[in-house]
Structure 1
Amino acid sequence: MEITINSSPSRNIRFFVAPSQRTLPHPIQERVSQRCHQLQADWGSYDTNGDGKLSPEEFKDSKLAQSVPGLAATIWKDWDRNQDGVVDQQDAEQMLEIAYGLRYITGVVLWEPSGRMLTTMLFDHLDLNGDHQIDLQEAKQAKFGFRDGKQTPVLFKEWDQDGNGKLSITEWKAEPSHWRDPVGAFLAADKNYDGYLSQEELVAAAESWTKGVSEHLLGAFDLDSDQHLSLDEFRQTPFSNLAREWHSLRSDRNQDGALNLSEFSWGDGLLAATLTVEYFERLDLNQDRKLDQDEFIFKVAPSKASLGTMFAQLDLDQDGSLSFEEYLGNLKLPPNANEKQVIYYETRLARLEDAFRKADININKKLDQLEFQSEPSLEAIAPNLVQKKKNLSSLTVGKSDGSEAAGGNTEIWIVLTLNGLLLIGAIVFILRKTKRSTH
C-alpha cells in the first residue's frame, strides 16, 4: 500500500513510502528515552556500592518506583524483569516500556518501526481469567479478534503455534488482522492533504467506538497550539497506542461530577500505568487535577447527569437512537458468576426488557430521545430521576393548593380589616355627635 507521510514542519511536503519500508521513531518511545536519560543521571545515587546494579536494599532506599508516575505502588519483583536478583538499567528500561504501553507485561514488544501497533487491548479483553493468555473457551466467547467468528476453533489451532492450547501475546502478534496502522489512519483522515488533522477531520474519521473520546483529543494533544494535530502528535493519542481500552466508558464513582485519576485509570496493573497518568494530565486542560465533561467523556451518576448526557453516553454508534444492547449499558453477567450475581443479572435484564418494550412506542426496536425520556424507560434505567420529578410535581401541587388557601385567607383578612375600620369610624362619629349634643 502506498502512503503519504509528512516529515517536515512545513505543510504540503509529501513523499511516498510503503508500510513495510518505512522506519519511524515512536514519539512514546522518545518519552521512555527521556526518562531513561534521567535515570542514568541519578543511577549513581541509587547504586551505593557502585556495581552498576541495585540490590533489594538499594532499590528500597532509592525511591526509584516513586519517581515514575503511575509506578509508586510497584515492588522489587516488578522491576527485576529477568528475575536475577538485581535491578540493572536494562530492567528499568524494560519496566518503563511496559509502563508506557510499548512492551507487554511478559516482555514482548507491542509496536513496529513502521508505526503499526498491536491491539493489546483486545488481547487483554479476551483474556477473561487474566493469565496473559487466551484459551479456546475464551476465544469462543470473543466477538472480535477471530475474523468473522465463524471459524474460531480452526483459527485458534492455526495460531497456537506451540500447540499448548493457549494463545500467547507472541502468537497473537503473528496474525496481521491484530495490528492497527495509526500512520495509515492519519493519512486517511487528512482529507485536504495538508499533513495535519483539524478537529473536524479528527472526529469525522473516528470509528463509532472511538468517537466519544476523539472529540476531546485535539486540545490535549495539540502540543504546539496550532489547532491541528501533526502526525507526531496524532501518534501520541490513545487510539494510536492500543495498550488499554481507552474507549471503555469510565465512571464517576464518587458522584462528584468529575473524574479523578483513580476513576480515570484502567485497573492497577503495570501495563501503560505511566502513559495513563500522562494522558490524564494532558486531558486536564484547566489543570485542576480532575476531568470534567468538557475535558473527557465519562459515565455520570444519574443524579448528576442530564437526560441528554445519559442518552449520548449510551448511544455508542452515535446514530441518534438506542438499540436494546446500548440501552443495557454496562449490564453484563460476570465470568464464573455466582448464584446471587445470576439472580441479579436476570432480574435486572427482565426489568430492562420490559421497560424497553413499553418505551418503544413505534415498535422499531430502537429508542429515540423522546422514547428514552419516557417514564417507563426512566423508571428502569434512572428511577431516582423519576422519583425526583414526582417529588417536584408534588411540591408544585402542594404549593399551588397552599397559594390558593393563602389567597383566600388574605381576602378574608382584608374584609375583616375594612369592617373593623368602618366600625371604629362609626364609634368615633357617635361619640363626637354625643359630645356636641351635651354642649
Structure 2
Amino acid sequence: MQSLKPPEKPCNGFNCDILESISDGVFTVDDKWLITSFNRAAEQITGISRNQAMGRPCWEVFHSSLCESECALRYTMESGKPVVGKTCYFVDSRGRRITVSVSTSVLSNDQGEITGGVETFRDLSALESLRLQLKGGFDMGELISHSPAMQKVLELTPAVAETSSTVLIQGETGTGKELVARAIHSLHRGREAPFVAVNCAALPDTLLESELFGYKAGAFTGAEKSKPGRFAQARGGTLFLDEIGDMSLNMQTKLLRVLQDRSFEPLGAVQPEKTDARIIAASNKDLEQLVEMKAFRQDLFYRINVVRIDLPPLRERKEDIPFLVDQFIERFNRLYNREITGVDPQVLSLFMAHDWPGNIRELENVIERAFVLCRSGEIQRSHLPRELIIRERRENAPTDLHTTKQALEAANISRALKQTQNSMTRAARLLGMHRSTLYRKMKQLGLIKM
C-alpha cells in the first residue's frame, strides 16, 4: 500500500529539516508583512499553530512590545541592517507574557532586492523567572513580592484573568487594590479594550449615577450633549469600582440591576443599553460586616463576591519592605534624575519597626519626600518626615532584631546581585563570602524557592 507523504512545509527557501530541528522560533514575512513560514519551535513557544499563523500579519500573531514603535524586523527591512539579541516580550495564545530575545535579517532575491525578512526568537522565560527569584520572588506586572502572604494573590491573579467572572478585592487603603485590578485586566483576553476606574466614595449619588450610566442630551438643565457613562466606555474591557463599600443603598440597588440584566439606562434614555464590561470591585471595608449592619445589600454582595482576593497589609509582609524601597528609589531616580544609592541601615531598621497604617502608598510617599531633601548617596533619618520619627519615639516600638537582620541581609544580597547582573560568583566576592555560603543564605532568606 502506497504511503501518503505529508504536505510540504512552506519554508520560503530555507532547509525545512534544519528549521524544524532547532529550538529557536523562526518565522519569515514577505514584503507585505504576511507570515510565509513558521517553524515547530515557533508553534511551541507561541502556542499558535502554523496553520493559524500562515498568511497573517506578524503583529496579529505576536502582540509584541516592539510592534507599535520599535519593530526590529521593520528596522531591518527598511535599513538592511540586522538586529541581534534584542530583548522584548510578546503575549502568547494563553495570554501569558513571554520574554524573548529576537534577531532579524533580510530576505533577498537573486538581484539583491529585499523581498521579506526573517526573525528568530529565543524563549527567555526560564532566565527571567530565575532573575525574579533572585530579585524578590513573585512577579505580576508591577506587582512584585517576596512575601508568602502575597504568593496566593499572585498565583490566583492569572487564573482569575482567564475568566470573565466578577472579582472583589478587599484590603486596607494603600495595599495596591487597583494594581491587582490592572494586572487582571492586562492578562485578560480583552486587555486591548479600556480599563476604566471609578472611585465610588468620591462622588455624591447624583453625580455617580450620571458618571456610571451617562446621560442623553436634554436629560436635565445644562445637558446640551449626550455623554457616555463609564459602563459604555468600558465595553469589552474592565470597569473597576473602587471603594464600593461607600456606595449608598440607593445606588447599590441600581448597580445590582445592571449586574443582573447586563444592561443599563442612561439618564433621559428611553431604551436600555447592553454592557459586556467585566466588573472588578474593591473596598477597604469589610463588606460582610457591612451586610450584617444593613449598610450593604446582601444580594449585591453575592453578585460581586464571585471571586475574592484579600490583600494583606504591609505590616503582614514586612519582608517586602527592602525590595519595595529599592523599587521606589529606582523609580524616583529616573523621575528626578538623581543618584540615590539606597537607605541607611538605621532608616531600614525604622521602616521594619513601623506598622505602616497607610501601607505601600505611605512607604512610597516617605521615599518620595526623602528625595526632596536627599540629593545623592543614602537616605538618612534626617531626610524622613518628622511625624514618622516622632511616632517611633512615642510608640517606642521594639524592633524585631531578627527580622531587621534578615531584611538587611536580603537587601545587601539583592543589591550585590543587581550590581553584578545576577552573577552568584561575583556577588559572593563582592559580599566577601564563598559562593556556597551565599547560596545557603539565599535559601534561608527565601530568595531561592525550593
The TM tier, using the shorter chain, reads under 0.3
Structure showing greater Rg: 1
Greater helix proportion? 1
Greater strand proportion? 2
